[in-house]
Amino acid sequence: MPLTIPELVLVDLDGTLIDSVPDLAYAVDAMMKQLDLPERGEEKVRNWVGNGVERLVKRALLDQLDGEPDPELFKSAMQLFDIFYTECNARYSRVYPGVRKGLNWLKSQGAVLICITNKDEKFTIPLLESLDLHHYFRIILSGDSLPKKKPDPLPLLHAAKKCKIKPKNSLILGDSINDVQAGRAAGFSVVCVSYGYNHGQDINLAKPDAVIDSFIDLSSVFEK
C-alpha cells in the first residue's frame, strides 16, 4: 500500500547514505595491531557495525557480536580507535549510488530532511561535509546530541517537535532493525534500504512499511 509523501524525513547515515565500513575497518585493524591482537578485516566489521562505535570496538576485541571485554582493554582500545578513526574518517567512505538523486527528489516534494545517526558528532559532521551531503539537512542529530539514541524514539520525537510536524506525517529512512524499532515507537512511517548494515539479516524480517534497493526507487513508494 503506497505511503503518503511525508512532511519530515529522518535519514540514517551509515549503511543508508554512505558505506562507511572501509573507514571503520581501517580504524579497527589499526587499533587491533596497536594492541598486538589479530586484525579483523572488512568482512567481519561489515557484520558488526550499526550499534555505535563502542559496541563495534567491543565486538572487534571479542571477535563476536555479543559480550563484554576486559574493561581496561576496552578503555585502551577506545582511545586508540578514536585516534585512528579521526585520522581516516571520510578517506574511504563512499556515498551509495542514487542517494543524491533521492534526496533531491524528497526536497522537491517539500519534505524537511534531517540526518539521524548513532555516530558521535565529531565524526558525523566532518563525514557529511567531506562527502558534500551536509547541505541537504536542516538538522543533524548525532549519537551524542541527546540523552538517548536509536532504537529509542527520543531523537525522532525531538526532531518532529523541533520542526513542528506530527509523527504521523513523518518518516524514518534507514537500513537496520534499530531504525524500524525507533520509527515504530515514535509513530513514524518506516522505509528501509536493502543494502545496509543489519548484521546479515534480511531487513524485510523487521517489517518496515517498504524496502527499496536504491534511493532512486523512493518515488515509487509514495502515492502519486
Catalytic positions are: 12
- Which DSSP string do the residues of 64-80 spell out, in sequence order? SSS----HHHHHHHHHH
Q: Which residues pair with 112 in a beta bridge?
A: 8
**Range 177-215 burial, b when 16+ CB lie within 10 A, else e:** bbbbbbbbbbebbbbbbebbbbeeeebeebebbbbbeeb
Q: How far apart are CA 123 and CA 74, in angstroms?
A: 20
Q: Which stretches does DSSP call E strand in 75-121? A: 94-95, 112-116
Q: How far apart are CA 56 and CA 199, in angstroms?
A: 12
